[in-house]
Structure 1
Amino acid sequence: MTLAEAVPQTMIFNKGTFFTDIDNRGEQQEWFSLDYDKSNWMGVAVPGAWDFYSHAFWGYEGIGWYCLEIEGARVQPGYNQRLQFGRVSGQAKVWINGELAGEHIGGYLPFEYDITSFLHTNGTNQVVVRVDNVPRSNWLPGTTLIEWIQYGGILQPVKLVTSSTCFISSAAIEASPDQGGAKVTCKVALTNTEAASFEGIIRLKIPAGSNIGNAEADNAVHTYTASIDVVCPAGQKAFFTTTIDMSKAQLWTLESPQLYDVMVQLLGRGGEAVDEKQERFGVRTIEVQGTQICLNGEPIIIKGVNRYDEVDGYGQTVPEEVIRADLLKIKQAGVNCIRTHYPMDPLHMDIMDEIGLLLMEEIPLNWWLKPWEIDAEVDEAENNEIIDRAESALQEMIERGRNHPCIIVWSMCNESGTNKPYGINAMRRLMRKARELDSTRLVSFVAVGHTSGHQAFDEADIVFINLYYGSVIEPFAYHIDQLNEFATAPTANHLRDTVAEFQGKPVVVTEFGMQAITGIHGDHRYSEAFQAAYIESVWQAITSVDGVQGGLLWCWADYYHRRTLAGAWSAAYGSYGVVTIDRQDKEALHTLTRLFQDIV
């Protein structure tokens, strides 16, 4: 293989074998060993949740083992080879040919291992992955009381990436409007695995497109370029920053989501290709001006929905065409923003960039510290571990998503003990870290609206609260003619108090909603008509209070509950969606569309 052929080369795994470890004996019996007989393991597609391997696995929380294979012909001596996991649900321990490559805890974000030294060219290389998706109180989301189903297994693609021994680890793009054009700053990370220092050149190319006009560097192909000489010490990682001034650039907007590609090339001193990486970006700003949220300097009202990324029959491993159809349907409903409780498959962000949807992405820190129990004891050592993990997840989330113009807010948590001294300090720590890592986006966290004392909002850009008056918060509304008394009025009163408490900051209702079961009609709770009327009554309250800049409905689609969830949600199914889990419309979708499309 020539160097050019190896810059870069990616193998995507599409199959493997699987075995369950209900009794947790696999490590003791060394199932990771090359000598252990895996011929009786079941063949499975990768990626995909193990919940769909058999009816017996639905909702299974436990341990499962995977074996993947890398043929010796895929091993390239003299090059660097990395094993990249898009997402493994829970804890992953990875062995290559019987040797431990690493361990990762956290079921939502990508990780990788340099496996160059583990591979051999003769025969087949074994990749063995032990996956544990049992919730732990010291893991994210910070509690064992979890609403969403914990799909198990390898949920996003696994790739073997072959590159030169000095390669581009990442390329972070910051693009800001500048006098009809844009200033594009690119921070490139190089990793050098060689025993000798690497000297070369980083070159950036941005094709401007024929609709943009003449470019400074190369009028024939309309390309902006920049170069920088680099030295990366042996065995180290180094960062290099350079800026391109685009004399003309179109803004990324909700109506016209203009995107640009930047090609980052690593060249040797002689100009030979060493590595390359392509990233997409958009030119836009997001900021708060007084109580307004401004996109490209223009105030916007958040017309949003919360969304889990599961679809019936797929779990959270959903084909691109299904994701695209769902997001386009959301856009057509007049929605301009989506919020998630955890980082999603990056396919969502790619599509949202393309079609013009905003994203509020959240650390998977949820129901932590029981905010509804003011006097609950705090185990400081355990919670230090949780917030350490939250900070790691924040960094991974920002590093993965920072080039996506659709992302406008980093959220630190949902409905957690941010009204307690430990929680207040944790929010301040996480928000400060988010600003340090990315100063171009807004930061906040989401509080339970019926509690008080969330003092860290004084450092947040926006005050986010969840309100369920008449729905989850008593007194309940049982008939449509009770909604004004039990939903509209208390919601509006609460919002007026919140605006007064946090003067000068925008307020957004990050959750409101009511369940409805498809096919049930009439004037009572859980009917389609009642859900539609409830949504309209609360939206009326949200839009009636000055300083409140919109809301996000809970939620877009129905979802499965984790099987151990009890209490108010007595069924294993959350029917809060305006569409069903298989994306069939409810009456409320038409109401939501009318309400959202009425606002310009």
Structure 2
Amino acid sequence: MAMNRLRVGLILWPAALLLAAPQPSQRSRMDLSGPWLFFPDYPGRGEANGWHKPDANPAGWDTVEVPHIWNLEPRYEHTGAAWYRRGFRAPALKPGERARLLFGAVFYKSKVWLNGTLLGEHEGGYTAFEFDATRAIQPGGENVLVVMADNSWNTETIPGSRVGGSPRDLTYPWWNWGGIKKPVYLEITPEIYIENQKIVATPDLAAGAADVKVRVWVRNAGPVAKSRRVRVRLRRPGAWNEAGRAEAAIRVGPGSQAMAEVAIRLDPAHVALWDIDRPNLYESLAELDEEGGADSNLARFGIRKIEIRDAKLLLNGEPVSFGGANRSADHPKYGSMENAEVVGQDMAMMKEANMGMARILHYPCSQTLLDWADEHGFLIIAEAGNWGLPPEQLDSEAIRGKWKQQAREMIEQSWNHPAIIAWSAGNEYQSDTPAGVRWTRDMTGFMRGLDDSRLMTFISLGGKAFSKVKPEENSYHYVDILCPNIYGNGGLAREIEALHAIWPDKPVFVSEFGWRADAAPSERWRSEQFAEAMRILRKYPFVIGASVWSWNDYKSRHLGTNPDGYRHWGLVTADRAPRGAYWTL
């Protein structure tokens, strides 16, 4: 995306600045969650039948509560398109104001109409997206919003099928929970408004100070270039005293975006580091001046330093290693909506079991989970949805383009979370092939271009291709952490020792290991296997952690799924009842 960039120099401010009240923002937000009309489009004829039109006959439609996942209900066990519609009365707009529709997440594909006008389409079921609705909205009047969601998959969706003729290739191992699964909002902004912030806070561990760089992206939706001033103020949440501030001038062209960058040095009196046991957080309040409409944006961040040294992971200069568990966003009552109560229960149980780090999902984490991890101290390796892709798909321009879009959305929506320490380029794809090496090289490079403040990795199926050590032959050359999935204790020590022999300067994080509960002779036997695995892993100082597969049982149609529809790998059941192995760990 083309943009202008303006930097200002380092600014030091007195130790205690009284935080003035933020400028009054012209933003307002209407929550469009709640009752919507809904019906599945079994034959795929909804658009041809005019269901997107505002005067479509609503007779026969059901009423559901959004956020909503339709295939939680037995009557809607449907893969394909389904339709949502609701009416609302929009507020009046002042001259120059913009109306934007914000969607927290819709799985998987979506098309959105307002008053019969197609606003746009989105693909990807785990990240937020938005459309400018100004051209279609009826300010101060009645409006009809229609959303078509489609939870089907094919060989070009992410997640989706793999090319190949075996039954295992035809599905992916988690459930296609379809629907508008996060809240929907109508937001009114001034013509010039703040789109996003990126905060990189690096502590000076020797001096006790910290350097904070803040980038602020500003959008001008109007027809004339405008000049504004951007002010950034840092503080602890709820505090009245500023930790620091800086300002920059910015000029934004018509219908375009520009970025201002400021740098602030915090003195030791205002530095409280974020770590596992003391997850201290800060807020960055970015404001635009009032000329032509004031706007503000509040983002949360933490001050912490993540680095690799001598095959160890250092958090704020201290080596750390943690166990964890891969958690599927799956619940019998809530599907993948990531209900805050369920997320909090799961993560609290992990912390109570002394878990502290995980590659937690095969797809972007919800903001609910990331907020919890920030607030309570938990390290996350975040991943976009490349699961098991073979060479043909790894080289596919369509797949690459969609993956980059989803990875970009994940990173730009999550880059201020101190809990995230690394980005992953995917899980169990054929990384030991030329196409796999190209993917790892290109996608880690792509992610570094978006955020070079974090480590890079990918998840391999076992310690593959130890004989291939040239950069053009092995994906491990392009990452900071070696993350193999290793099942069974028989080869555990051998595989991690082989990895370390070739890459002695890189730490190893065993991203998956485990035993399926319904395939084990007994839960006691399973618990003993976990205990033995931990005994093996603790011998190696270069092993920085391991993540159990999996935290919870999860719904699936993948080959080998239990007849009850669940894969019983969990330390806890789908209803969150702990198994014996949980207490062992």
> Fold match, TM over 0.5?
yes
2:538 is paired with a residue whose SS is helix
Equivalent of residue 180 in structure 1, options 205, 208, 224: 208
**CA shift at 1:378, angstroms?**
2.5
2:135 is paired with a residue whose SS is helix
2:424 is paired with a residue whose SS is strand
Q: What amino acid is the match of 1:583?
A: R
Paired residue total: 544
Structure scoring higher RCO (CA < 8 A, sep ≥ 6) equals 2
Compared with structure 1, are the counterparts of its residues 69 and 280 closer, same or farther at alpha carbon in structure 2 (3 Å cutoff)?
Answer: same
Compared with structure 1, are the counterparts of its residues 128 and 560 closer, same or farther at alpha carbon in structure 2 (3 Å cutoff)?
Answer: same
Deviations 1:533-585 (A, max 9, x none): 11112222222235322211111111111x3x224766521111111111111
Structure 2 counterparts to residues 268-283 of structure 1, below 5 A: 268-269=290-291, 274-283=294-303
Equivalent of residue 421 in structure 2, options 399, 408, 423: 408
Equivalent in the alignment of 1:124: 142
Q: Which runs of 4+ in 1 moved over 6 A?
A: none
Matched, 1:161 2:187: yes
Equivalent in the alignment of 1:134: 152
Equivalent in the alignment of 1:572: 565
1:417 is paired with a residue whose SS is coil
**CA shift at 1:267, angstroms?**
0.8
Q: Is the contact between residue 187 and residue 239 of structure 1 (CA under 8 Å) also seen in structure 2?
A: yes
Structure 2 counterparts to residues 531-550 of structure 1, below 5 A: 531-550=526-545
CA distance in 2, matches of 1:571, 1:44: 26
Structure 2 counterparts to residues 194-233 of structure 1, below 5 A: 194-208=222-236, 221-233=241-253
CA distance in 2, matches of 1:380, 1:403: 29
Q: Is the contact between residue 512 and residue 552 of structure 1 (CA under 8 Å) also seen in structure 2?
A: yes
Q: What amino acid is the match of 2:241?
A: V
**CA shift at 1:133, angstroms?**
0.8
**CA shift at 1:45, angstroms?**
0.6
Deviations 1:1-36 (A, max 9, x none): xx9473343434222111110100112122101232
Q: What amino acid is the match of 2:405?
A: S
Structure 2 counterparts to residues 107-118 of structure 1, below 5 A: 107-118=125-136
CA distance in 2, matches of 1:322, 1:413: 26
2:304 is paired with a residue whose SS is coil
Structure 2 counterparts to residues 375-414 of structure 1, below 5 A: 378=392, 383-414=396-427
CA distance in 2, matches of 1:450, 1:494: 6
Equivalent of residue 150 in structure 1, options 176, 180, 189: 176
Deviations 1:286-334 (A, max 9, x none): 1111211111121111311111122231111133233222211211110
Q: Is the contact between residue 8 and residue 163 of structure 1 (CA under 8 Å) also seen in structure 2?
A: yes
Q: What amino acid is the match of 1:276?
A: S
CA distance in 2, matches of 1:449, 1:459: 17
CA distance in 2, matches of 1:279, 1:12: 23
CA distance in 2, matches of 1:410, 1:317: 23
TM-score scaled by structure 1? 0.87
Q: Is the contact between residue 343 and residue 397 of structure 1 (CA under 8 Å) also seen in structure 2?
A: yes
CA distance in 2, matches of 1:10, 1:450: 51
CA distance in 2, matches of 1:35, 1:222: 53
Equivalent in the alignment of 1:170: 196
Compared with structure 1, are the counterparts of its residues 122 and 267 closer, same or farther at alpha carbon in structure 2 (3 Å cutoff)?
Answer: closer
Matched, 1:555 2:550: yes
Deviations 1:579-600 (A, max 9, x none): 11111111111100xxxxxxxx
Q: What amino acid is the match of 2:203?
A: P
**CA shift at 1:344, angstroms?**
2.2
1:508 is paired with a residue whose SS is strand
CA distance in 2, matches of 1:378, 1:78: 48
2:442 is paired with a residue whose SS is helix
Structure 2 counterparts to residues 212-361 of structure 1, below 5 A: 221-248=241-268, 249-269=271-291, 274-338=294-358, 339-361=360-382
**CA shift at 1:398, angstroms?**
0.8
CA distance in 1, matches of 2:413, 2:491: 40
Deviations 1:119-164 (A, max 9, x none): 0136421111111111110111252420001100111111111110
Matched, 1:81 2:99: yes
**CA shift at 1:81, angstroms?**
1.1
Equivalent in the alignment of 1:189: 217
Q: What amino acid is the match of 1:261?
A: E
Q: Is the contact between residue 75 and residue 119 of structure 1 (CA under 8 Å) also seen in structure 2?
A: no
CA distance in 2, matches of 1:451, 1:202: 50
Q: What amino acid is the match of 1:262?
A: S
Q: What amino acid is the match of 2:86?
A: L
Q: Is the contact between residue 251 and residue 282 of structure 1 (CA under 8 Å) also seen in structure 2?
A: yes
Deviations 1:316-370 (A, max 9, x none): 113323322221121111000132111122011111100001111111110211x
Compared with structure 1, are the counterparts of its residues 205 and 581 closer, same or farther at alpha carbon in structure 2 (3 Å cutoff)?
Answer: same
2:401 is paired with a residue whose SS is helix
**CA shift at 1:236, angstroms?**
1.1
Equivalent in the alignment of 1:367: 388
Q: What amino acid is the match of 2:380?
A: L
Compared with structure 1, are the counterparts of its residues 408 and 318 closer, same or farther at alpha carbon in structure 2 (3 Å cutoff)?
Answer: same
CA distance in 2, matches of 1:205, 1:567: 54
User: Percent identity between the aligned chains?
Assistant: 30
Q: What amino acid is the match of 1:236?
A: S
Equivalent in the alignment of 1:483: none
Q: Is the contact between residue 402 and residue 438 of structure 1 (CA under 8 Å) also seen in structure 2?
A: yes
1:118 is paired with a residue whose SS is coil
Compared with structure 1, are the counterparts of its residues 588 and 238 closer, same or farther at alpha carbon in structure 2 (3 Å cutoff)?
Answer: same
Matched, 1:466 2:485: yes
Matched, 1:91 2:92: no
CA distance in 2, matches of 1:379, 1:235: 36
Q: Is the contact between residue 562 and residue 568 of structure 2 (CA under 8 Å) also seen in structure 1?
A: no
**CA shift at 1:379, angstroms?**
6.0
Q: Is the contact between residue 80 and residue 152 of structure 2 (CA under 8 Å) also seen in structure 1?
A: yes
Deviations 1:389-435 (A, max 9, x none): 11111111110110000000101100111121112101110001111
Equivalent in the alignment of 1:510: 511
Compared with structure 1, are the counterparts of its residues 425 and 570 closer, same or farther at alpha carbon in structure 2 (3 Å cutoff)?
Answer: farther
**Which stretch shows the higher mean deviation, 526-535 or 181-190?**
526-535
Q: Is the contact between residue 468 and residue 511 of structure 1 (CA under 8 Å) also seen in structure 2?
A: yes
Unaligned runs of 5+ in 2: 1-22, 162-169
CA distance in 2, matches of 1:40, 1:5: 42
1:514 is paired with a residue whose SS is coil
TM-score scaled by structure 2? 0.89
Deviations 1:90-116 (A, max 9, x none): 110111111111011111111110001
**Which stretch shows the higher mean deviation, 236-245 or 446-455?**
446-455
Compared with structure 1, are the counterparts of its residues 313 and 541 closer, same or farther at alpha carbon in structure 2 (3 Å cutoff)?
Answer: same
Compared with structure 1, are the counterparts of its residues 450 and 115 closer, same or farther at alpha carbon in structure 2 (3 Å cutoff)?
Answer: same
Matched, 1:491 2:496: no
**CA shift at 1:48, angstroms?**
1.8
CA distance in 1, matches of 2:93, 2:70: 29
